[in-house]
A = this chain, B = another copy of it.
């Protein structure tokens, strides 16, 4: 990788000379409070010039895994009521049949297709996660560019490059404003995601640097999603709409629909308006050398990441001890405050609400030894054995426990106690899903929606995406006949 590193470094140096030379010369010791300069433009320049050949192997590999995982969850959600409703609502307004929907027969114009695949991929809350920001990166980005790639063929290498650049864009922008931006109430996947979609789609469209600045500006004008919507169909709406908004921004910019030059960093721009924290170095530093896209993770369980340590602990203790529900008298959990803030529903009434209930998640994991989509169905949250067990789950906010950790102690009817400390749950950066894990997850999600041979073919195309002549092939291979 020496040649790649060298080229990347030269690129960064050239960028600094071209964009900031005057400022660098006259203000060698600029104070930290100096107004940020050229943040949007620096990012736009990087996105428009970065090449597939510049991507390190590890980044390509993670980009491919990101793509495969996203296709799997998009197929998996494709026949949920949420998508049925959205498809029937939008069909009368769709443009030409430019792009397909995973797992379904309908075709839509690319913006509606992007929106619907984006919804589908987030319905189960089972998609990918950039843990530093809790952004689910693939939904907004992949939905936008795969729809575009169906209309205007692009090579798999260009597609994967755009995917990585889109993920990079949204995660870096997310880093700049996280956690304040998320804490106040924004669903960061939809607010940062729209930038990722615009950047990636604009990259495939071949936007100039100026057009990319405008695309990012029009994206900044369209943040999507509030945390209050969690637990309703509105949650999966957010990455879908972010994908469509980003694509919309790039399409307008490609025709020279203008925006401001500095929509991310200006005084009345995005970061100041939408967050009390702005760390622009997260956006502009190390472009082409440090990759947030390499830090993506994939959920082993079909619910918010904050419950994963507890599910992991429950599955481990159950399997190791062959526990049955009637043995269990009480389940004590030591958790970070976020667990109860986000997943404190004690009596969920639907599968969707179950995703926001640490009580249900632990109970179902103890009964069924899993945390897949089937464990967050209406059936599961209404199962009498599970509803009885969930009343025995007692989470306690405990200082010192990190969000990615849990301490679980199960008290059995015979008086014994079983304990498990989870430092990093399965699916974390430290303990990632293997490629085989991802394939099992994909196959489980697609089962019953596509025939087995088709599932294997789609997975195979995903693994080979960088070598495809036409990335749209993946979309065409993943629809329902």
Contact = CB atoms under 8 A, between A and B. Distances in A.
Interface of A: 82, 85-86, 88-90, 92-96, 98, 109-111, 184-187, 190, 214, 217-218, 220-234, 237-238, 241, 248, 251-252, 254-260, 262-263, 266-270, 272-273
A233 B214 CA distance: 10
A92 B110 CA distance: 10
A266 B93 contact: no
A92, A224, A251, A273: residue with the most chain B Cβ atoms closer than 10 Å: A273
Given A95-B92, A256-B85, A257-B86, A268 B227 contact: yes
A206 to B, nearest CB: 15
A190, A218, A254: residue with the most chain B Cβ atoms closer than 10 Å: A218
A145 to B, nearest CB: 15
Contacts of A241: 221-222, 248
Given A92-B95, A221-B237, A222-B241, 7 more contacts: A89-B255, A93-B98, A185-B273, A217-B234, A223-B223, A232-B259, A237-B252
Contact of A228 (B223, B231, B260): B260
A266 B228 CA distance: 7
B93 A255 contact: no
A245 to B, nearest CB: 8
B263 A226 contact: yes
A227 B269 CA distance: 7
B232 A258 contact: yes
13 contacts: A85-B252, A89-B257, A90-B251, A95-B109, A184-B272, A184-B273, A187-B221, A217-B229, A221-B224, A222-B222, A229-B260, A232-B258, A233-B257
Given A221-B241, A225-B221, A110 B85 contact: no
A398 to B, nearest CB: 23
B269 A228 contact: yes
A257 B226 contact: no
Contacts of A227: 268, 273
Nearest to A81: B256
**Total identical chains:** 2
Contacts of A248: 241
A82 B184 contact: no
Contacts of A232: 214, 217, 258-260
A228 B263 contact: yes
Contacts of A222: 222, 224, 241
Nearest to A223: B223
Contacts of A273: 184-186, 226-227
Nearest to A91: B95
Nearest to A94: B95
Nearest to A247: B93
A270 B226 contact: yes
Contact of A85 (B93, B228, B257): B257
Q: Which 10 A-B pairs have the closest CB atoms?
A: A185-B273, A185-B268, A234-B259, A227-B268, A89-B255, A228-B269, A228-B266, A228-B268, A93-B95, A233-B258
A234 B218 contact: yes
Contacts of A98: 93
A43 to B, nearest CB: 15
A221 B222 CA distance: 10
A201 to B, nearest CB: 12
Contacts of A86: 252, 255, 257
Contacts of A92: 95-96
Contacts of A259: 229, 232-234, 237
Nearest to A241: B222
Contacts of A190: 221
A239 B258 CA distance: 15
A257 B82 contact: yes
B93 A110 contact: yes
A257 to B, nearest CB: 5
A229 B222 CA distance: 12
Contacts of A255: 85-86, 88-89
Contact of A269 (B93, B95, B185): B185
A107 to B, nearest CB: 12
A251 B93 contact: yes
A255 to B, nearest CB: 4
